[in-house]
């Protein structure tokens, strides 16, 4: 099943400028590093890129205080069903500001955009 959304905001502007229409596969599917995903966060939908997945080392992201705390709690490795997401710009509201997301937070994977 697919849904279409219109991107609003600048956090993914290098890949998905404001006004871009995205098609999202909302059926259960595998998620991989590099995928663009729509995530439900506090009743808002955001689109970001998966930068780390389950079982990946968090070492390169320990420069962000919130992620350093999670890394220490989880012995430096993302646990099952957790991902780090990031936008295209440094000021993006993403895992570097709120921490890892759970698989249940992912609405779907972006399969096309125009």
Give the CATH number, domain containing residue 80: 2.10.109.10
> Mean pLDDT by 10-residue block, N- to C-terminus, for the chain (114 residues)?
97 97 94 97 96 95 94 95 96 95 97 97
Whole-number pLDDT of residue 71: 94
Domain around 8: 2-113
Name the pTM for this structure: 0.94
Structural domains in the chain (count): 1
Distance CA 54, CA 32 (A): 9
Give, for 111, the enclosing helix (H) or strand (E): strand 106-113
């Amino acid at each position: 099943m697919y849904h279409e959304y219109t991107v609003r905001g600048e956090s993914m502007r290098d890949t998905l400028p404001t006004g871009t229409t995205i098609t999202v596969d909302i059926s259960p599917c595998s998620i991989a590093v590099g995928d663009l995903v729509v995530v439900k966060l506090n009743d808002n939908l955001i689109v970001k890129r998966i930068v780390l997945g389950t079982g990946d080392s968090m070492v390169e992201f320990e420069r962000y205080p919130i992620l350093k705390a999670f890394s220490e709690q989880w012995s430096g490795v993302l646990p099952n069903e957790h991902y780090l997401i990031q936008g295209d710009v440094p000021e993006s509201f993403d895992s570097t500001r709120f921490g890892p997301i759970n698989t249940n937070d992912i609405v779907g994977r972006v399969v096309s955009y125009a």
